[in-house]
Chain A
Amino acid sequence: MGRAKLPRKSTNIDMTAMCDVAFLLLSFFILTTKFKPAEAIAVTTPNSVAAKVAPQKDYIMVILDKDGKVFLEMDDKGKKETIANSLNATRSLNLNVQAFKNALFVGAPLGSMASFLAIPEENRKGDKLPGIPVLDSANNELVIWLRAVKDAYLGLKEPAFLLKGDNMAKYPSFKSIIDAFKKNDILKFQMITNPEAAPLGTDLWKMNQTGEKRAE
């Protein structure tokens, strides 16, 4: 009977290589992560098959949250200053122009704008703020805001008008926002959505397969 002698080999695997790969992957992700700024207004946008990426600069964004509150956000500080000055001049609101420039968004009736700006930045959360009143068609304040915006951009390249609405917002608020746009002659605007693929078998899917350009 031969001895079943199997030479014992060491079962220790040298894990240095795996460790290196792990840290390489980690570095990749650390460098490519962009932290989104914590949103003051929580909005869940709906999905759509639209393919164009939302513009990141030169935009005027109207935010509609789930309770129907409307907020306005802009990224150009110079124009914000112009708007604050014109509002002070035409409506004698006595707004603190610096605070207005630095505010990320506005969301209060014109009468209470001064107190809105007085609230410190960290406390300006969407659920506590009243929002811009739009529902009353006779007193749609968004019209005033958008007119000020259009005046600020007079003669310059038009900014992109965006609407970021929550899934649960009701139609009447949406309609008032559209009316505010129409009253100011803003006929083209874009709605922010989450991307989704065209459903299989539909006409759009067939168009994408043949590589036809979509008419946006």
Chain B
Amino acid sequence: MAEMDTSGGGGHKKGPGVKKGKKLSTRVDLTPMVDLGFLLITFFIFTTTMSQPTAMKLFLPQDVDKPEDQNKAKESGVITILLGKDNNVFYYEGQLTPNASNFKSSSFKEIRTVLIDKKRNTPEQDLVVILKPSSQCTYKNVIDILDEMAINVLKRYALVDISNVEESLVKLSEGSAAPAK
């Protein structure tokens, strides 16, 4: 390993009467110092924050009570996504049929395929996604679904309150459905 020669110049005159014993080695082994150096480096590498937290914007529409002022959406272009507990995702296209025949279940991974298909089959100005989180879903579920909007570049979407019918439908489907894959 690294050596430091600290023996100084040789050839000092011996003092009178000083009996100089055998010359001891003055080589210093620097291995531990380099080890410490690397330990400190790894500590600082791990504690340096390189990535800053980012912010995801959310715009809320103003609550308008007059029905004529509310945005109209064509039934064929609407897809509604409902979020249940335990990362369950359900969706239906258009209006909810009385016997809930178009109520389908999905997961976060599959919902992207569903959205891509819907996007491909619908003209852009008709496409609206309605997000209805239920009272059992987590904040992470909501952020993930908003993220899906950004990932699939879906510009028209709305975060809306879930209705009682839909909430009970979600609970029913969760109770009887197989565990999410």
Contacts and interface: CB of A to CB of B under 8 A. Distances in A.
B153 interface: yes
A22 B38 contact: yes
Interface string B33-77: 110011011001101110111111111111100000000000000
B54 A187 contact: no
B147 interface: yes
A26 B38 CA distance: 8
Interface stretch (A89-97, A105-113, A138-146, A166-174): A166-174
Interface string A1-18: 000000000001111101
Contacts of A170: 135-139
B112 A50 contact: no
B79 to A, nearest CB: 16
A45 B147 CA distance: 13
Contacts of A214: 150
Interface stretch (A79-87, A118-126, A196-204): A196-204
A180 to B, nearest CB: 11
B2 interface: yes
A204 B139 contact: no
A64 interface: yes
B135 A45 contact: no
A59 to B, nearest CB: 9
A49 B151 contact: yes
Contacts of B104: none
Contacts of A34: 48-49
Interface string B119-154: 100000000000001111111111110110011110
Interface string A158-202: 001010011111111011001001100001111111110011001
Contacts of B45: 29
A15 B30 contact: yes
A47 B134 CA distance: 21
A171 B140 CA distance: 9
B135 A193 contact: no
A189 B143 contact: no
A39 interface: no
Interface of B: 1-3, 30, 33-34, 37-38, 40-41, 44-45, 47-49, 51-63, 83, 112, 116, 119, 133-144, 146-147, 150-153, 155, 159, 161
Those 4 A-B pairs whose CB atoms lie nearest each other, nearest first: A29-B44, A15-B2, A50-B56, A190-B55
Given A16-B2, A19-B37, A168-B140, 12 more contacts: A18-B34, A26-B40, A29-B44, A47-B147, A48-B56, A49-B151, A52-B54, A52-B57, A162-B55, A191-B58, A195-B51, A202-B112
13 contacts: A12-B3, A14-B2, A15-B34, A29-B44, A33-B44, A49-B151, A50-B147, A53-B55, A54-B52, A171-B133, A171-B139, A171-B142, A192-B55
